[in-house]
Amino acid sequence: MRANRIPTEEIRREPAAFDDRVTADGRFGRAAEPGRFRLVVSRACPWAHRVVVTRRLMGLEGAVSLAVTDPRQEDIDGDPHWVFTEETGSPGDRDPVLGIHALREAYLARDPHYDGGVSVPGLVDVDNGHLVSNDYDRLSLDMATEWGGLVRDGAPDLYPAPLRDEIEALGADVYRDLNNGVYRAGFAPDQAHYDAAVAGVFARLDALEERLAARRYLVGDTVTMADIRLFTTLVRFDSVYHGHFKCNIRKLAEYPALWAYARDLFQTPGFGDTTDHDHIRIHYYYVHTGINPTRIIAAGPDPRGWLTAHHREELGGSPFGAGTAPGPVPEGERV
């Protein structure tokens, strides 16, 4: 389903069109090399945001460069496309490294006959301009576990082996009811589909509120992939999912534990410093003309609330465990 059309059936996510893996040892055919790959993202997209957070926490900014598309997208042949514009730092409306205007060009460089959808994130091979992968989950996991000596000293263990089963079990529930559930509600084709989806969203939020009332992080005592997966939905909830997607039974700010948890993460290096509230609001309200035909962009909420005290440190735990916080955001990537 295209987001700029009136929904006629429940939204369904297509599997990643390209899912080549990049690892330090190159055992899947592609080796992680400094400067070899460029990560194309939209700062509005929660799925791309997962990879951006992981890249920053692991200190991979110097190994894989970042390209940011315009939040508004551009209509090409009747479909919206992720494009580079001067407004977002691309001279001549082309990415200065890849030389492309639309991410679709990297898809077609990989497969000239490709006629499917185009999604972010996209990992692109700088040498030949081919898309390597648009599999956001595998990209995150591999950057967290498979990039070997390219990660920074003090990088955290975001996917601890003893906790992986719990991380994945919880992640499946959160994906079904919340990460994807907000989209199923927002793009529901009828009342029955909306009612079912929104009920699932708030049942999951209620369960997470209870889980986080007495523990600082979702799984274990440090930040893990489970927290990254949840954060990128929570940080968009009150600004776009609550109003634009009609998930308005309660606001995130009305959940004491969840709201404090989200602020705790936001104030942790790697999370808030990769979040662009303006891109989020602009993209959702401008691009989804099927549910917002006027393209009027909502003004709020005030993002300063994300910087208020959370007191979650009183629950124990520490964000990076035996590791350390990442250094300053690179100059060209500040939001």
Predicted confidence at residue 217, as pLDDT, reads 98
Identify residue 200 by its one-letter amino acid code. G
> 256 is written with which tokens?
């004491």
**Averaged pLDDT for residues 213-233:** 98
C-alpha span between 319 and 334 (Å, rounded): 21
User: Which active-site residues does the annotation give?
Assistant: 45, 183
Same fold, 22-150 and 161-323: no
3-state secondary structure of 82: coil
In the predicted model, is pLDDT for residue 236 greater than 50? yes
Instruction: For residue 190, report the phi and psi dihedrals to the nearest 5 degrees.
Output: -160, 175
Predicted confidence at residue 4, as pLDDT, reads 61
Whole-number CA gyration radius for the chain: 19
Q: What is the pTM of this model?
A: 0.97
Predicted confidence at residue 3, as pLDDT, reads 53
Q: Confirm if 19 and 10 have CB atoms less than 8 A apart.
A: no
> 296 is written with which tokens?
């009027």
Q: Tell me: the pLDDT tens digits for 99-143?
A: 999 999 999 999 999 999 999 999 999 999 999 999 999 999 999
Q: Tell me: the pLDDT tens digits for 44-65?
A: 999 999 999 999 999 999 999 9
More confident site: 200 or 14 = 200
Fold entry, domain 22-150? Glutaredoxin (3.40.30)
Report the 3 state secondary structure along 55-104.
Answer: HHHCCCCCCEEEEECCCCCEEECCEEECECCHHHCCHHHCCCCCCCCECH
C-alpha span between 171 and 168 (Å, rounded): 5
Q: Where are the domains of the chain?
A: 22-150, 161-323
Domain 161-323 has CATH 1.20.1050.10: yes
pLDDT over 90 percentage in the chain: 94
Q: Which residue has the tokens 């200190």?
A: 59
If phi > 0 it is left, if psi is from -120 to 50 it is alpha, else beta; for residue 310 that is alpha
Q: Tell me: the pLDDT tens digits for 243-292?
A: 999 999 999 999 999 999 999 999 999 999 999 999 999 999 999 999 99
Name the residue among 279, 333, 292, 290 with its Cα closest to residue 71: 279
The CA–CA distances, whole Å, from 7 to 33, 82, 151, 189, 197 equal 42, 21, 42, 5, 14
**Averaged pLDDT for residues 190-219:** 98
